[in-house]
Amino acid sequence: MKLELRHLRIVCAIAEAGSITRAAGRLGLAQPALAAQLKRIERVMGGPLFERSRHGVWPTPLGQLVLDRAQLLLPAVRSLEEEAARLARQDGGRYRYRLGTMNGPLLSGVVQRVTAAQPEAVLTTRFSWHAAELAAEVAADRLDFALIGVCGDAAPPGAGLAWSLIAVDAVFVLLPASHPLTALPAVPLQELAGAHWAIAPGDGCFRDCFVAACAQAGFAPRDMYESDVRTCVDLVEAGSAVSLCQSSFRPPPGLASVPIAGTPLRWRHLLAWHPERAVADQAARISDYATAAYQDAIARLPRALEWFSRQPGLGTRPQPPTHRSI
């Protein structure tokens, strides 16, 4: 094994935390995995880098030498990467943004705001149903930002990324506008015990959380048709199924989205980027655009807007990046 920059970052993280266990938590790694990585680094360096006790760790003379050099080298490399990336993403003075997105209300608003504020910008987008796939693309520097969603309080996928919470969305049910349940302020989930369900694909725990919510309501869901959004809408229009949707989803004519009583299902909209790349200096701008896009989406839906006014834990709220690991 050859020494790499990520190994120096690991050594610095352990020294800063003063504990392998605490460093593992900050890095999003299991403690045994971090301890094994440290052993491999120490073999490359020719000796132990830390003294260990039940009270924590502290650098050996060799470890202090490595730390001293790393504290000079890592900022210099970071500066080089930022300058190189800044030049690479400009083309005749035009900024380049590579944006990944899942199904949701944010992309259109972000694109509109970027092109209005920076008409010379070159913006490309990529779609995926899978949050983990988009996070991996950001980590591999194939995307600059990713707009993703995760179920409830689930942790976002991938290590080494910074995350900003855009909004906490409620999951509604999509019904024909003529359905008698649309007259209710919120639909008790058990009222739909006999329904067929249409849901969009994706990874994460959403399907399991939905099944658990149904079990809590006293039933197991019948057939679940997984398909794209257009087909889900078609099935609801035909009366063949009801569908789950984000509260920010704008129903087509003839359909209505209705809150589920007790809000048993939530969806968090997040923005991901790599904190050590030059594009990170645009993260606050993109996060603000995404927040405004979500607010615009809700403002177009009077029923959802009125419902959110009585739900203090949902919607948008200012918050710094919520997760960061190396």
In this predicted model, what pLDDT tens digit does every residue of 134-171 receive, in sequence order?
998 998 888 999 999 888 888 888 778 999 999 888 88
Q: With cut-offs at 50, 70 and 90, classify the pLDDT of residue 326.
A: very low
Q: With cut-offs at 50, 70 and 90, classify the pLDDT of residue 317.
A: low
pTM of the model: 0.68
pLDDT (tens digit per residue) in 110-135: 999 999 988 888 889 999 888 888 99
pLDDT (tens digit per residue) in 48-106: 999 988 888 999 999 999 999 999 998 888 777 667 666 655 555 567 889 999 888 88
Q: Which domains does the chain have, with CATH numbers?
A: 5-87 (1.10.10.10), 94-326 (3.40.190.290)
What is the 3-class SS of the chain, one letter each residue? CCCCHHHHHHHHHHHHHCCHHHHHHHHCCCHHHHHHHHHHHHHHHCCCCEEEECCEEEECHHHHHHHHHHHHHHHHHHHHHHHHHHHHCEECCEEEEEEEECCCCCHHHHHHHHHHHCCCCEEEEEECCCHHHHHHHHHCCCCCEEEEEEECCCCCCCCCCEEEEEEEEEEEEEEECCCHHHHCCCECHHHHCCCCEEECCCCCCHHHHHHHHHHHCCCCCCCEEECCHHHHHHHHHCCCCEEEEECCCCCCCCEEEEEECCCCCEEEEEEEECCCCHHHHHHHHHHHHHHHHHHHHHHCCHHHHHHHCCCCCCECCCCCEEEECC
Mean of the per-residue pLDDT values of the chain = 85
